[in-house]
Amino acid sequence: MENSSIVILDFGGQYTQLIARRIREQRVFSVVLPCTATPAEIRAHRPAGLILSGGPSSVYEPEAPAADPALLAMDLPILGICYGLQFIVHHLGGKVRPAPRREYGRAEVAVTAEGAGGPLFAGMPSTFTAWMSHGDEALELPPGFQRIAGTPQAVAAISDPSRAIWAVQFHPEVRHTDLGSQLLGNFLFSICRARPDWTPEHFIQTTVSRIAAQVGDGRAICALSGGVDSSVAAVLVARAIGDRLTCVFVNNGVLRKNEFLQVQRNLRDRLGLRLAGVDAGRRFLTRLGGVVDPEAKRKIIGNEFIAVFEEEARRIAAESPGGGVDWLVQGTLYPDVIESTSVKGPSQTIKSHHNVGGLPEKMNLKLIEPLRDLFKDEVRRIGRDLGMPEEILERQPFPGPGLAVRILGEVTQERVTLLQEADEIVVQEVKAAGLYRKIWQSFAVLLPVKSVGVMGDQRTYAYTCAIRAVHSDDGMTADWADLPGPLLRKISSRIVNEIHGINRVVYDITSKPPGTIEWE
């Protein structure tokens, strides 16, 4: 790994972690540092090259991020991206100005004669489509620089090969840029001479040793949900500190059928985690009695969860030799971290359902978030390398408030049991059809609507079940999935025949927006 990493300096761009990810995809280690990192801090990572990210500011404004121009003279190959290009131009004697017309979206980039023979565009066509997002442009290039690509509107790429400085105005890290990965690969391998020897195993090793050093002989707890993020985070931390990590898995009464036992079996018996299973189902259902408002249900479940977790954490602390738990492990992923932390400081905003409701402050716990730089598919890959079962890694997302947001109206034990049965049939059949991994989420919803049916010679009067299946990349938007007719037929017939209490099945054909994925 020595001298083969890439340091990315974060100027606050929304794509900074995407750059890191694209570099990891090419099996080169990369680390994101705040743009205020000093040359010495950068050198400590023994980089083979430096990337300056995009960012929302203007280089010529007083509130521009305070990066040290000395980092342009570190004798390291540099690639500036968007704001990174403007930073280079501004600090090496060129001129950056507001563009007469903002360029946003796809643009045609043409490589100039100077760029054509150079290493950055090697193997690429002389024109290609790239993703632009900038309000400023390079008006005059610094001495020694040449324009190596342009769009009809602006400078698209520049370089000073004698100083090994390269910069592009567009974003090679986004998929909308054709051959963006090839361009990044050219920078990594032809210009920086980095070695493609980084693997998830490296991530595991460095993360485990970092956590071990950080926690020392302290103790940690982790709230497990049974899903991929918290499970992978827990397994990583357990590698570092062994049974000084205790995981807590709470039965909130609205889990799936057999989930309370299955998750414990998977994580305790198969992965060897020290796990406290807390069966608080009755307590949650009592609190939910008579409540029909969706937000009220969510609040009750959230608050009750905190209460149960806190009690359990105190019990664990009291029983620990030496007493006390200092750390809370969370499976926060990069997409959960909404704001860029490195430029704006540690004011991290995390989706509320990931942050165990103010617990860290209340209990004076420090956070360990080993996955906060990664994307979901990278977490799955790491989980695979940790030897975790596919059953955990490929699980579809399941909401924290569980089946409660899929039971419309009051949540009762009877309704939970009905929905658990229906949910199990949907999951079994979608898996049997080979579609479980291809669909973002597929599940059943129980409606408090009774209708008349006939079974044999008997009139029935029972609940309705809705089937929901959606395709999505991140849960933010979704399309309803066109499940095959025979599969829907099988699900419907099994639910009505096997579940006493449901006599009608309907299919939800609403996308998000305007619908949400969950019904509540």
Residues acting as catalytic residues: 82, 171, 173
User: Does residue 34 bind ligand XMP (CB under 6 A)?
Assistant: no
- Write out the binding residues for ligand XMP, residues 439-458 only, by CB under 6 A: 441
Q: Which of 268, 215, 257 is nearest to 237 (CA)?
A: 215
CB of 346 to ligand XMP, least distance (A): 23
Q: Which helix (H) or strand (E) holds 24?
A: helix 16-25
User: Does residue 518 bind ligand XMP (CB under 6 A)?
Assistant: yes
User: Does residue 400 bind ligand XMP (CB under 6 A)?
Assistant: yes
CB of 301 to ligand XMP, least distance (A): 8
User: Does residue 501 bind ligand XMP (CB under 6 A)?
Assistant: no
Question: Is 198 or 305 the residue whose CB approaches ligand XMP more closely?
Answer: 305
Question: Is 499 or 517 the residue whose CB approaches ligand XMP more closely?
Answer: 517
What distances in angstroms separate CA 407 from CA 84, 305, 416, one per listed residue? 50, 19, 8
- Write out the binding residues for ligand XMP, residues 240-299 only, by CB under 6 A: 298
CB of 471 to ligand XMP, least distance (A): 12
User: Does residue 357 bind ligand XMP (CB under 6 A)?
Assistant: no
Q: Output the six-digit token pair for 129.
A: 């489509």
What distances in angstroms separate CA 376 from CA 16, 18, 220, 230, 477, one per listed residue? 16, 13, 23, 12, 16
How far apart are alpha carbons 139 and 97 in whole angstroms? 6
Question: Is 203 or 305 the residue whose CB approaches ligand XMP more closely?
Answer: 305
User: Does residue 226 bind ligand XMP (CB under 6 A)?
Assistant: no
User: Does residue 399 bind ligand XMP (CB under 6 A)?
Assistant: yes
CB of 229 to ligand XMP, least distance (A): 9
> Is the preceding peptide bond at 514 cis, omega within 30 degrees of 0?
yes
- Write out the binding residues for ligand XMP, residues 317-336 only, by CB under 6 A: none
Question: Which of 475, 480, 508, 510 touches ligand XMP by CB under 6 A?
Answer: 475
CB of 200 to ligand XMP, least distance (A): 25
User: Does residue 142 bind ligand XMP (CB under 6 A)?
Assistant: no
How far apart are alpha carbons 71 and 483 in whole angstroms? 54
> Is the preceding peptide bond at 513 cis, omega within 30 degrees of 0?
yes
How far apart are alpha carbons 115 and 98 in whole angstroms? 25
Question: Is 226 or 399 the residue whose CB approaches ligand XMP more closely?
Answer: 399
Question: Is 103 or 520 the residue whose CB approaches ligand XMP more closely?
Answer: 520
- Beta-bridge partners for 478: 512
**DSSP string of 215-233, one letter each residue:** HTT--EEEEE-SSHHHHHH
How far apart are alpha carbons 196 and 190 in whole angstroms? 12
Q: Output the six-digit token pair for 70.
A: 């000395």
Q: Which range in 90-98, 335-343, 422-430, 512-520 contacts ligand XMP by CB under 6 A?
A: 512-520
User: Does residue 469 bind ligand XMP (CB under 6 A)?
Assistant: no
What distances in angstroms separate CA 514 from CA 71, 443, 479, 517, one per listed residue? 48, 19, 10, 10
Residues that bind ligand XMP (CB under 6 A): 298, 353, 397, 399-401, 441, 475, 512, 516-518
